[in-house]
Amino acid sequence: MSTRVLLWRQFRFERRLFWRNPSAAFFNFMLPLIFLFLIASVFGHKTKDLNTLVPGISGMAVMTTTFTALAFNITFLREQGILKRMRGTPMPPVAYFGGLLLNAVTNAVVQVSLVVVVGHVIYGLHWPRDWLELALFTLVGVVAFGSLGIALSHAIPNFDAAPAYVNAVFLPMIFISGTFYSTSSLPGALDAAARALPLKHVIDGFRAAIVTGSGLGHHLGALAALAAWAVGGVALAVRFFRWE
């Protein structure tokens, strides 16, 4: 059986596993939407606020479905010995991890699409003005956060410690990167920290694609910074990966 067929079967298996875990489905799909509904209901009465919130929640959705999910999953699979057993099977590693990563990519694409649709249907925002830019930042963001999630899993000693490690990165990043508010009034040190991290660049790219439509040429710096994080994340994920 070809590697491509095995990858596709592993992907379908991962989809079934995902939907059989209600808590995972809730965290990946409902939590960003709940943030959107709650914050928009309280603070999002103005179009300006919604134009900040929808791209921010979309960026957070990319991070939760890739970085957070993979950091948890890889840690769990390694601790339970599943990765070690998979290593001993005839399945090529590229097929196994390809199915695992494709599942995370699918979740990210679906989540971003849901946030965009909710923003248009319920809150009256325009459809994205540049679909290509939206797709490109989603793709590079998925690679960056997915690889960083796998890299972080190497540093997590056991699954019980995973929430502490993941949230220590996730929570500060979403609060300083403009997920819920404009970063124009951030103190200089926090603004510099946000610009050094990948989520800020994903959100800026989404805001340009969804709200302003200013074109990809005006955000090549953000795309380059995000691509650098993706390259670094892949290098760390591969360099320090271990099966057990």
Contacts of 53 (CB under 8 A, 6+ apart): 36, 39, 40, 43, 44, 180
Cα separation, 158 vs 21, in Å, equals 21
Write down the pLDDT at residue 198.
92
Domain range annotation of the chain: 3-239
Query: Looking at this protein, which amino acid is placed at residue 181?
Result: Y
Residue 70 DSSP SS3: helix
Do residues 149 and 68 make contact, with C-beta atoms less than 8 angstroms apart? yes
Write down the pLDDT at residue 141.
92
* Residue located via tokens 């923003």: 119
pTM of the predicted model as reported, rounded to 2 decimal places? 0.88
Cα separation, 145 vs 121, in Å, equals 28
Profile the chain (244 residues) by mean pLDDT over runs of 10 residues.
84 84 72 83 74 88 89 88 82 83 87 88 84 90 92 90 91 86 79 88 89 74 90 89 78
